[in-house]
Amino acid sequence: MVIPVDNGERLLPCLNSLFIQKNIDYEDIEIVVVCAEHDNGTIDMLSSAEAPCDFKYFVHGKGHAALLNKGILEARGKYILLISQETSAHEDLISKHLKTHLKYEGRDIAVLGHTFLSDNHDSSSFMKFILKKPKTAFYFSACI
């Protein structure tokens, strides 16, 4: 999993949701967090994280695309799940994501899933646009 972090204030709930996933072997899981250069205590929080899996974090240049690119380059897994720092993952997110990739093994696919947002969620303009329709939003995962 790759998590780009522009501002780590909302990162801890995301990480906590990833640290309590069900029906997975954490031996096969890697989380890569890439933070923007400015530090608001995020690095201290990451250095003390007690992850149940391989966990790495980097500080990289500014800009969301640069953070994503660095995370993808550092990731070592067969599949990459891109997760927003604002995501609180359902407890079966990783197992269902992996199950879908395995079902279509050998094919070039991208897996899209849904994230339910609470009414009081502080979301971006894009997410507000998406939420005008169904109350779900999609994130992207690439198969490399």
Query: Is residue 116 over pLDDT 70?
Result: no
Contact by Cβ (8 Å): 88, 120: no
Q: What is residue 29's predicted lDDT score, i.e. its pLDDT?
A: 95
Domain residue spans in the chain? Answer: 2-143
End-to-end alpha-carbon separation of the chain, Å?
Answer: 13
pLDDT reported for residue 127: 60
Give the three-state DSSP class for 49.
coil
The mean pLDDT of the chain is 82
Q: pLDDT tens across 38-79, in order?
A: 767 888 899 999 999 999 999 997 788 999 999 999 999 899
Architecture, CATH, for domain 2-143: Alpha-Beta Complex (3.90)
Task: Report d(CA 57, CA 33) in Å as an integer.
Answer: 5
Give me the percent of the chain exceeding a pLDDT of 90.
50
The pLDDT of residue 138 is above 70: no
Mean pLDDT of 96-106: 90
The SS3 assignment for 5 reads strand
